[in-house]
Amino acid sequence: MKLIFTFLLLTFSTYLFPQSEISKVEPFLASIISQFPNVRDIAISNDKNEVVFSAQSYMGDLSALISVKKTNNTWSTPEIVSFSGQFFDLEPYFSSDGLTLYFVSNRPLDSSLSTIKDFDIWYVKRDNLNSKWSSPINMGSPINTVMDEFYPVITDSGNLYFTLDNQALKQKDNIYVSEFINGKYTEPKQLSSSINSDGYEFNAFVARDESYIIYTCYNREGGFGSGDLYISYKSDNGDWTPSKNMGDKINSDKMDYCPFVDETSNTLYFTSKRNSVLTTSEKQLTTVDLLAKFNTYENGLSRLYKVLLND
């Protein structure tokens, strides 16, 4: 019976996000994103009027969280959020009410110090959507350890999904979950082998109701190259179905990662290093031509994209 159900669920998944109904991948906030060398990790508030993303240097050794807000259908000038700009901050995620923002940082636990530590999951709070963010608060044990924790996602149940580089187990990056039970977080545990493998699995978006998970697998057999986005669904008995590649209408032959889904519009946002720049030209380029090619959106640098999963 379980095998029959799993088959039906996998069959249904092709109708939930059918390849034939996936729209063309498009740049997101191109004029804003293009102002920065590399951009990744997007968080969008439920009212769709606030976006926070990570802006990074060309080599990825400097990272800060940037905020833009929409008023009368016009986006504001991008600004570093009030608590970022000193340490390596990335991977934001809004709570459903928009009053808490989770993120990752290597900042010290003591705010009076400037010595960096390993990467932990932190959060800030605010009283309303127009008030200022609080000082960052470390999530503490059992979420944070002496190892690196990345890419937090909070579901409606309060469960926290994240990526852990657990070197103590001599494993590569894997997806973990800490269940929120009786007001407390439990000891994090790895998701099943339907999700994790001996390779790299990271940067997971989980639906608010935990019905599906989209995440990145690195150089997995059968992929399109580098990092690809995969999807898995949760069955009625709580098991995750074997993950499936989301296809070449979404994935490229370069790194595709950092997924976020606006579940009200069924729009997938993600980061990609896809490159459409041709290495040869039919005619000799001028300096202006060359700079134009360098500055195209799909130029191999990290950029934000969106795609409607089905109509």
Q: Residues 194-220: pLDDT tens digits?
A: 999 989 999 999 999 999 999 999 999
pLDDT in tens, 216-267: 999 999 999 899 999 999 999 999 999 999 999 999 999 999 999 999 999 9
Q: Residue 208, SS3? A: coil
Instruction: State the Cα angle at 161 between 160 and 163, rounded to 5°.
Output: 135
Helix, strand, coil percent content, the chain, rounded in steps of 5? 10, 40, 50
pLDDT at residue 295 greater than cutoff 80: yes
Residues 6+ apart with CB under 8 A from 200: 172, 173, 216, 217, 218, 219
* DSSP of 147-165: SEEEEEEE-TT--EEEEEE
| DSSP annotation of 168 | G
Domain extents in the chain: 2-308
CA distance 78 to 85: 13
- Its CATH architecture, for the domain 2-308, is 6 Propeller (2.120)
The tokens for 287 are 């300096």
- Tracing tokens 């309303």 back to the chain, one arrives at 128
Give the span between the Cα atoms of 309 and 311, in whole angstroms.
Answer: 7
Q: Is the pLDDT of residue 149 over 70?
A: yes
pLDDT band at 20 (very low <50, low <70, confident <90, very high): low
The dihedral built from the CA positions of residue 185, 191, 195 and 201, taken in this order, carries a sign that is: positive
Is the confidence at residue 14, as pLDDT, over 50? no
Please tell me the distance from the alpha carbon of residue 119 to that of residue 109, in angstroms, as a whole number: 11
- The per-residue pLDDT of the chain, averaged, comes to 92
Q: What is the pLDDT of residue 16?
A: 53
Q: What is the pLDDT of residue 11?
A: 44
Residue 21 has pLDDT above 70, yes or no: no
